[in-house]
Structure 1
C-alpha cells in the first residue's frame, strides 16, 4: 500500500481522539460546532466569552495562540474588529462605507459622509479615538463654534468708526460698512478690524486712496519682465522712483484725481491678464514688493499692456459717484459688469504654453 493510499484510508477511519480534543478545547473557553477535524484542521467553534463563531487549529492553541482573534489578548488591549461591527461603527459616525473593511484599523477607509454627501477617507482607529469622520463637516462645526456673536461683531465695527450696512456673516468675510469719519463705503473683514485695521480712506500709512495717484507700466530688460502698478504722484508711497532704483524703466503712466480710480484700473487689468492665463513672471526672491504684478515681456509686451490700460480707462470712464462734497470716486460695484463686457470683445490671450504674444485691440 502506498503512502497516499494509507493517508486516504486514515482519513476514512473514525477519529478516536475527538472526545479528548473536545475536552481540551473547552479549557480554552471554546465550544465545538462540528466534529474534531484533527490537530491541523480548521475547527469551527464558538468563543464562550464574546459569543462569536471562530475557526481555530488545535495545534495553534498548543503553541500559545489566542482562542479568539476578535478579543484583546490582555485586559484593556486592542481587539480586532469584525467587518460587520466595523461598518456599524462607521455608520454610527455618519459615514457610509464605499468599500469593504480591510481589517486594519489605521488604514484609510473610503466612505461617503451622510451629512454633506462628500467623499472622505478616515480610518476606523480615528473613529474609535473620536477624532471625527468628515473633515469638511468638522471644519463647518468648528467655524460655527468660533463664530462671533453678531451683536458683539457689530459693536467692534462701530468702535472702529464703521457702521455696518449688512448682516454679519463670518470674521473672514468682507463686511460692507460706511465710515463715520469720511462717509466712504468700505468692506473690511472683522478679523482685520480686530487686528488694528480700519477705513482705508482714513489710513495714515500705505497707499493714499484720496490723494492724486497714477497707474504706471514699467519694464525690466534684464529680467525680461513687464509690470503694472499704482503709486502716489508725490510724497507718500511714490513707487515709481523705488522701482527705478532696482533697474525698472518707466514705459508709460496715467494720472488720476484719486487713488481709488487708479486702484480700480489696476485691478481690472490684473483680472483680465490672470483670466487669460498669465501668472507672475518674477518671484518674491527677485522682487519682494509687487512680484505678483509682473508678467513675461515676451508674451505681454509693454505696448500691449499699455493698450489694455487705456482701453480699461475708456470703459470705466464716467462711472463715478460723489459720496461727500468735493470728492469724486468711482463706484466699485459697477466695475465687474463693465469689465466683463470689455473682455468678451477681446480675442483670447495666449498663455505661456501657447507661445504667443498678447494681441493688441
Structure 2
C-alpha cells in the first residue's frame, strides 16, 4: 500500500469530536479546560486527583502514558516535582535556592545554606532521600558527634600515668600533663596516648631524653646535602653510626648531659631555618628517616649550620624560658663540649650566596 493510499484510508476512518474526547478524558480523571485540539495536539486539562493543570495529548493517553506527570504511577513510585514544591522542600531542609529548579531531581541545584551561609549544590533527590544538604554543616555535626568527652579523655590520660594540668581541647592538640612516675611535665596528644604513647622521659624505646646525647651536623657529598639531628652518645639511638653506613660524613657534634638539652637546640635551629625559608632538601624516598632535617648544602653550608648551632647553644644556655615546643630546659645541668673533628674534610661549597644570617 502506498503512502497516498494510507492517507486516504486514514481520512475514511471516523474522527473523534470534542464531546467524545471529553467523555474519553473522564476515564483518566481529566477535565478539559479548552476546546479539543485534536488527538495529537496539546490539550490543557485539570487532573481531578491532584488538582493540577497539565497538558496532554489524547493519542498518548490511548498508548498508555500517564495522565498526570506529577502523580506517581503506583503507590511508592516516583513522581515529577513541580518547581514550587521542589523549592519548598529545599527551604524546609534549610537551603535557599539560587537558581530555578531544572525539573531533574538528581541534578545538582545551587543553593545557600541557611545555617552556615555557604554555597552548596545538593540535589532534590538527595534531600528526598534524607542525605542532607550542606556538606560543611554535615561534617560539623559528625565532628561534634565524634568529639571525646573531657571526662573520658582525662581518664585515658590518668590510665597512662599522666595527670592533666589544663582543660581538654581535642585529641590532636598537645595536652600539658605531669607524669605521676617521674614528675616531669610533658605535652602529648590524646591520640598518641591512645596508640600506646606515654611520658617521653619514662619511655624505654626511641630517643632517651634522660641519658647523655649529642647534636650532630652531617654532610652527604653525593646528594650535596647537609643535615642536623640528635642521638645518643652510645648504645640506644646512636644515629651517627647509622648515617655513616648511608654515606653521611660527620662535620661536627656537641655533647650534652641529657637529651632534653639536645632536643631543645635541635628544635630551635630547625625553627630558625624554617623561618628563613629553607624547607626539606631530600625526599622521603631518598632518605626515609630524617629527610625533614636535610638542607641544600649550597645554601646552608656545614660551616654555617655549625655556627647556627653554636649560637643557639649560647642563646639557650642559662635561660629558663622553654622553646615553643615546650621542651623543658635545665640550665644548671648543661655541660656542652665540642665534638671531635670530622674524619673527612668536607668539600668546598659555594659561599656568599643566600647564606643565612646568624642570631
Shared fold by TM > 0.5?
yes
Aligned residue number for residue 30 of structure 1: 30
Contact 2:43 2:57 in 1 (8 A): yes
Q: Secondary structure at the match of 1:288?
A: coil
Distance apart, 1:176 and its partner CA: 1.3
**Structure 1 position 219 matched with structure 2 position 227:** no
Aligned residue number for residue 74 of structure 1: 74
Q: Secondary structure at the match of 2:169?
A: coil
Contact 1:264 1:332 in 2 (8 A): no
Structure 2 spans left out of the alignment, 5+ residues: 1-14, 328-351
Structure 1 spans left out of the alignment, 5+ residues: 1-14, 322-329, 336-355
Aligned residue number for residue 153 of structure 1: 153
Distance apart, 1:244 and its partner CA: 1.1
What is the aligned counterpart of 1:360 among 351, 356, 359? 356
Q: Secondary structure at the match of 1:254?
A: strand
Q: Return the alpha-carbon distance in structure 2 between the equivalents of residues 38 and 258 of structure 1.
A: 99
Q: Secondary structure at the match of 1:44?
A: strand
More RCO (CA 8 Å, sep 6+) = 2
Cα deviation code 1:279-325 (max 9, x no counterpart): 4333332222112222333444434434443444444343227xxxx
Contact 2:276 2:356 in 1 (8 A): no
User: How large is the Cα RMSD of the aligned pairs?
Assistant: 2.9
| TM-score normalised by L of structure 2 | 0.78
Alignment CA distance shift 1:149-1:37 (3 Å): same
**Structure 1 position 193 matched with structure 2 position 189:** no
Cα deviation code 1:222-259 (max 9, x no counterpart): 22333222212222111111111111122333333332
Contact 1:300 1:357 in 2 (8 A): no
Q: Return the alpha-carbon distance in structure 2 between the equivalents of residues 116 and 302 of structure 1.
A: 52
Cα deviation code 1:26-72 (max 9, x no counterpart): 32232223333333333322222333222233333334332222233
Q: Return the alpha-carbon distance in structure 2 between the equivalents of residues 250 and 26 of structure 1.
A: 98
Higher alpha-carbon Rg? 2
Q: Secondary structure at the match of 1:289?
A: coil
